[in-house]
A and B are shown apart, each in its own frame.
Chain A
Amino acid sequence: MELNAIIRTLLQRLLQLIPVLLGISVITFALMHLTSGDPAEIMLRADGIKPTYEAIEAARIALGLDGPVYMQYVHWLYRVLHLDLGISYSSNRPVFTELMNRFPATALLSGCSLLAAILIALPMGVGSALYPGKWFDRLGRVCALFSVSMPGYWLGLLLIYYGSVKLKLLPVTGMDGVSSVILPAFTLGFGMAGVYIRLIRSSLLDVLATLYIKAARAKGLQEWRVITRHALRNALLPSLTLLGVNIAGLLGGSVVVETIFSWPGIGKYVIEAIFAKDYIVIQGYVLWMAVVVVLINLAVDSLHLMLDPRIRLR
C-alpha cells in the first residue's frame, strides 16, 4: 500500500464521520424527547417548589424549548456548525467547557486503568499459555473468573475498606495526587483484565503451535526471543482490536467507579445531565463520544497496518 493510498483511506474514514454524527444526533434528540419529563419543569423543581405555570413558560422560553421539536433540532445544529455546543440548562455554563473540564480526569483514569489491565493481563496471559494446565494457568483462570464476575462497585468498596479504612494506605476518595488514582484504576483495570488473560492465552497457544515458531526454534533462537519477537507480536493482534473498544468505553467515563471514588470525571456528569434531561449536555456528549470512538477505531486500524505486514500487502 502506498502512502497516498493510506492517506486516502484516512480521509475517507474521517468523511464518514459526518453522516455518523448526523445520524447519532438525530436519534438521541428523538429519544430524549420521547422520554417523560420537561427540562424546564425539572430545572425549577430541583429548587424544591412546585413551579407556577408562568414560571415554567418563562423557563421554557429562556431555555429555547418553546418551539416545535424539529425547530429546536435545527437551532441546535446551526449552533454546532458554528462550533458552539450550547449552554447547559442546569449549570448555565458552556457545554464544551464543562466536558473539557472533566475530560482530563477521565482520560487520566482511563490511561491508568488500561495500564493496570495490561500489567495484570500480559504476564498472566503469557504465563498461562506457556504452562497450560499448570498452577500458573490455574491462577490465571481463577483471576479471569474473579475479574469478569466481580462487579466494579463491590470490588471498589472492598478495596476502599481494606486499602483505606483498615490499612490507611490510600485515600478513600477524590482526585488528589498519585495515590488517589491507584484504587479506581485497579478497580477498572482488574475488571477488564479477565478477558485479556484468556484472549492472550488462547491466541498465544495458537501461535506457538504454528510452523514459523518451530522454524524460529529450529534456527536455535533463545526461547524468550522466540516468544517476544515471533509469538507475542502475532498473538497480541486480537487483543488490540478489543483494546480499541475498551479505550472508547473508558473515555466515555465510568459512572459506577467515578461515583464510588468521587472521581470528577465525565461519566458522573453525563448521568446527572440525563436525569435532569439537560438535552444540550447529552447532545454535546454524544457528539464528542462519536468523534472519540471513530478516531480510536481509526488509530487501531492504523496500528494493525503497522504491526501486521500481511494486512499492508492486501
Chain B
Amino acid sequence: MRASSKSKTVLTTSLFILLLVIIMGISGCSHSDKAAQTSDSGDKAITVAIAADAGLDRLDAGAYEGSMNVHAMIYDGLVEYGEKGEILPSLAESWDISEDGKVYTFHLRQGVKFSDGTEFNADAVKFSFERWVKDPANSLNVATAMESLEVADKHTITMTFNKAYYPFLTELSFARPVRIISPTAVEPAGDINGTFVRAIGTGPWMAESYKTDQEAVLVSNPNYWGDLPKLSKIIMKVIPDPQSRVLALQSGDVDIAGGQMGKLPVESVPVIEADSSLTLQKSPGTSSHFMIFNYNTSALQDLNVRKAINLAMNKKSIVNDLMNGIGQEAKGLFPLTVPYVTESNNTWYGFDPEEAKQLLATAGYKDSDGDGIAEKDGNPLEFNFVLQQAEYPEWKTISELIQSELKEIGIDVKLQVLEPNAYYDALWTSKAYDLILYRTYDDAYNPHSFLLSLFHRTTEAPAVVWSDAELEAQIDNAIGAMDLQERQSAYDSIFLRMYQEAMFAAIYFPDDILAVNHRVTGFKPGYTTFTPVFWNQLDVDSK
C-alpha cells in the first residue's frame, strides 16, 4: 500500500482539479445573450414579467383563453373603461341609447384597419359578437339579454336588448369576450363557426412570436388608429415564482413586474424600494378583502355579534404592520375607485374592542366560567374561520391577527386553511364555514356584477354573502335605474343598509404594486387590472 501512495496522490489531485473545473464552469460561463433582447439596434423594447403563459396562439377575442392583459393590448372594444368606471369611446366614437334603455346604436370610428390591413366596419362587429353571443356558457348580460344585432350602415350598428340594464356599456368595456376580432382571424375567413387561427385586432399591439410557457413578443401595430406606441416591442416573459420576479427585476432581466399579471410579494417591497434601479409604483386597486358571515350560523344572526366582530378588528394595524403600509383600511365593501362609491357613502365600523365587548354583553354573551370565551345558555361563542393561502398568501397572517383580536373580546376562532378547490367548494356550495375570507372582483365587475353575484338570490340558490330581501330589492332598483341621480341614490341606500346591518366585516383595500426599471419612462398606471399600465405611453431612456 505504501508503494501506491504516489498514484493515490495523483488520483486525489485529479479529482480535486475536476471539482475546480466544475465550479469554474458554473461561474465562468459568460451570460452573453442577456443584453441582446434589450438593445437590439434601433429597437425600443422592454421586458415585462407575467406569472402564467400568455397563450398567444389561442388568444381568441371571443374566448376566455390566455392572458387578459395581452388580450386588451391586441383587441379594442367598442368602448373603454376609464377612471372610476367612466365609459370612454374606443372603436365606437359615440352611441345613442333609446328612452326605454333597450336599444343601443353605436357610431363606429371610420378609417380603422385591423393589424393585417383588413377594414374595420359594422360587419366586423357583427361577426365578432355572433361568434360567442349564442354560447350558453356565457353569462354576460349583453349576451343573455341580446335580442338582435343589426348593421344599419357600414359604420353604424344597433343592439336591441330585452331589458334595460345600465351596465351594458360597462360590460362592453371588458377585456373579453366583447372585443372586436378581424374576420380574417378565423379559417374559413368570415365564418362565425370558423376556427380561430391567429390574433388579429385593431389594438396598438400585435402578436409577433410566442413560446409556450416562456415568452410572448408583441410589436407595435403600424395600422393602429390612435397615437402609435413609443416602444416598438414588448416582451412578456413568463416567471411563475414571485421571488424570481423580484430577482429578475433586480438583475435587469425584466423592466416591469407586478399588478395582477404577476404579483410582487408584499415582503419584497422594502427590497424594491432600496434598489436604486427600480421605482415602486402604487395605485389603489378596485378590489377589497372582507370577511363573510354565514347567515345560517345562529350566533351570527344577531346584529350585535356582527357589529362586535367588526369593532374588534384593528384594520389600520393590518395595513401598517402586516402589509408594509401597502393599501388602505377598508371603509365598506368597495374602495373609492369603484363607481358610485363616494366619501359620504363609504363608512364602516372603526376599532373599539371595549364597545365590541359591550355589544356582546348586550347580546347576552358572558364569560361565566372564566376561560376567556363568552357563553350564552352554556354555549361558548366559537366560530370556524375558513381561508385559503394559495391565491392570497397574505390571508394567513391577516386571519391570525383577527383570531387573536376576536379572542380579546371573548370569541374563540378556529382557523381552517383549505386548498383552493376545497375553499371554493365551502364558499359556493357546502357553506361549511362560520366565517370565511373573500375578496370582491376587480374592475368593471364592480359594483353591479359583484352585488348581483354575491348579495342577490339566483333562481337556484339564496344569496351567497348575506340574504336580505330589502337589499335585493335595492340592488334591483339600482340595476334598472337609467337615470344617474336615481341610480346614485339607490347605491347610497345599498351601502347604508350593508353598514347598518353589518352584513360582513370589511377588512382591507389592497393597492396594486408594480416595480419599474428606471430606464423606462412615461409610466402611467391604468384603471383596470387588464390594463395595469398605459403601454402606448411607455418609452425607454436612450442612454
Mark A residues whose CB is within 8 Å of B: 35-37, 41-42, 44-55, 58-59, 62, 91-93, 101-102, 116, 119-120, 123-124, 126-127, 130-131, 136, 157, 160-161, 163-165, 167-179, 182, 186, 217, 222-224, 226-227, 259-262, 264, 268-269, 275, 277
Contact of B138 with A277 in the complex, beta carbons under 8 Å: no
How far is B16's CA from A277's CA once the two chains are assembled, in angstroms?
49
Using known A-B contacts A48-B442, A49-B139, A177-B33, determine if residue A36 contacts B11 with beta carbons closer than 8 Å.
Answer: no
Contact of B4 with A49 in the complex, beta carbons under 8 Å: no
Interface residues of B in 190-213 (CB under 8 A from A): 211-213
Query: A170: which of B29, B213, B422 is its contact (CB, 8 Å)?
Result: B29
How far is B420's CA from A37's CA once the two chains are assembled, in angstroms?
9
Write out the residue numbers on chain A whose beta carbons fall within 8 Å of the beta carbon of B16.
Answer: 123, 127
Q: Mark B233-267, 1 if CB is under 8 A from A, else 0.
A: 00001111101100110110110000000000000
Contact of B30 with A36 in the complex, beta carbons under 8 Å: no
Contact of A182 with B247 in the complex, beta carbons under 8 Å: no
Using known A-B contacts A49-B139, A223-B8, A264-B213, determine if residue A165 contacts B247 with beta carbons closer than 8 Å.
Answer: yes
Q: Which of B88-96, B301-309, B454-462 contacts A (4 or more CB under 8 A)?
A: B454-462
- In the complex formed, the residue of B with least CB distance to A277 is B421
Write out the residue numbers on chain B whose beta carbons fall within 8 Å of the beta carbon of A93.
Answer: 58
Q: Mark B11-55, 1 if CB is under 8 A from A, else 0.
A: 110011011001001111111111000000000000000000001
Contact of A259 with B241 in the complex, beta carbons under 8 Å: yes
Q: Can you give 5 contacting A-B residue pairs, CB < 8 Å?
A: A48-B441, A54-B136, A120-B19, A167-B27, A277-B421
Instruction: Tell me, rounded to whole Å, the shortest Cβ–Cβ distance linking B66 to chain A.
Output: 9
Contact of A224 with B18 in the complex, beta carbons under 8 Å: no
* In the complex, the 7 A-B pairs of residues with the closest C-beta atoms, listed nearest first: A37-B421, A223-B4, A264-B213, A123-B15, A58-B136, A223-B7, A36-B425
Contact of A259 with B4 in the complex, beta carbons under 8 Å: no
Contact of A182 with B26 in the complex, beta carbons under 8 Å: yes
Contact of A165 with B250 in the complex, beta carbons under 8 Å: yes
Using known A-B contacts A36-B422, A182-B29, A269-B213, determine if residue A164 contacts B15 with beta carbons closer than 8 Å.
Answer: no
How far is B65's CA from A92's CA once the two chains are assembled, in angstroms?
9
Contact of A178 with B29 in the complex, beta carbons under 8 Å: yes
Write out the residue numbers on chain A whose beta carbons fall within 8 Å of the beta carbon of B425.
Answer: 36-37
Instruction: Tell me, rounded to whole Å, the shortest Cβ–Cβ distance linking A11 to chain B.
Output: 38
- In the complex formed, the residue of B with least CB distance to A260 is B241
State how many residues of chain B have any CB contact under 8 Å with chain A: 67
Using known A-B contacts A53-B459, A102-B213, determine if residue A176 contacts B30 with beta carbons closer than 8 Å.
Answer: no
Contact of B445 with A49 in the complex, beta carbons under 8 Å: yes
Write out the residue numbers on chain A whose beta carbons fall within 8 Å of the beta carbon of B458.
Answer: 52-53
**Residue B473 is within 8 A (CB to CB) of chain A in the complex:** no
**Residue B453 is within 8 A (CB to CB) of chain A in the complex:** yes
Write out the residue numbers on chain B whose beta carbons fall within 8 Å of the beta carbon of A161.
Answer: 247
How far is B27's CA from A41's CA once the two chains are assembled, in angstroms?
48
Query: B30: which of A50, A120, A173, A179 is its contact (CB, 8 Å)?
Result: A179
Contact of B11 with A119 in the complex, beta carbons under 8 Å: no
**Residue B424 is within 8 A (CB to CB) of chain A in the complex:** yes
Contact of A165 with B251 in the complex, beta carbons under 8 Å: yes
Instruction: Tell me, rounded to whole Å, the shortest Cβ–Cβ distance linking B456 to chain A.
Output: 11
- In the complex formed, the residue of B with least CB distance to A161 is B247
Contact of A262 with B239 in the complex, beta carbons under 8 Å: yes
- Given A164-B251, A165-B251, A262-B241, 15 extra CB contacts under 8 A: A36-B425, A41-B428, A50-B428, A51-B139, A62-B137, A123-B16, A126-B11, A164-B31, A170-B31, A171-B31, A174-B215, A179-B29, A223-B7, A226-B4, A262-B238
Write out the residue numbers on chain A whose beta carbons fall within 8 Å of the beta carbon of B18.
Answer: 119, 123
How far is B136's CA from A299's CA once the two chains are assembled, in angstroms?
51
Write out the residue numbers on chain B whose beta carbons fall within 8 Å of the beta carbon of A168.
Answer: 31, 34, 251
Q: Mark B417-435, 1 if CB is under 8 A from A, else 0.
A: 0011110110010000000
Among B239, B390, B441, residue most surrounded by chain A Cβ atoms (within 10 Å): B239
How far is B138's CA from A51's CA once the two chains are assembled, in angstroms?
8
- In the complex formed, the residue of B with least CB distance to A44 is B137
How far is B210's CA from A101's CA once the two chains are assembled, in angstroms?
13
Instruction: Tell me, rounded to whole Å, the shortest Cβ–Cβ distance linking B265 to chain A.
Output: 12
**Residue B534 is within 8 A (CB to CB) of chain A in the complex:** no
- In the complex formed, the residue of B with least CB distance to A225 is B7
Write out the residue numbers on chain B whose beta carbons fall within 8 Å of the beta carbon of A119.
Answer: 18, 22
Write out the residue numbers on chain B whose beta carbons fall within 8 Å of the beta carbon of A179.
Answer: 29-33
Write out the residue numbers on chain B whose beta carbons fall within 8 Å of the beta carbon of A164.
Answer: 31, 247, 251, 253
Using known A-B contacts A179-B29, A262-B238, determine if residue A157 contacts B243 with beta carbons closer than 8 Å.
Answer: yes
Write out the residue numbers on chain A whose beta carbons fall within 8 Å of the beta carbon of B243.
Answer: 157, 260
How far is B144's CA from A51's CA once the two chains are assembled, in angstroms?
13
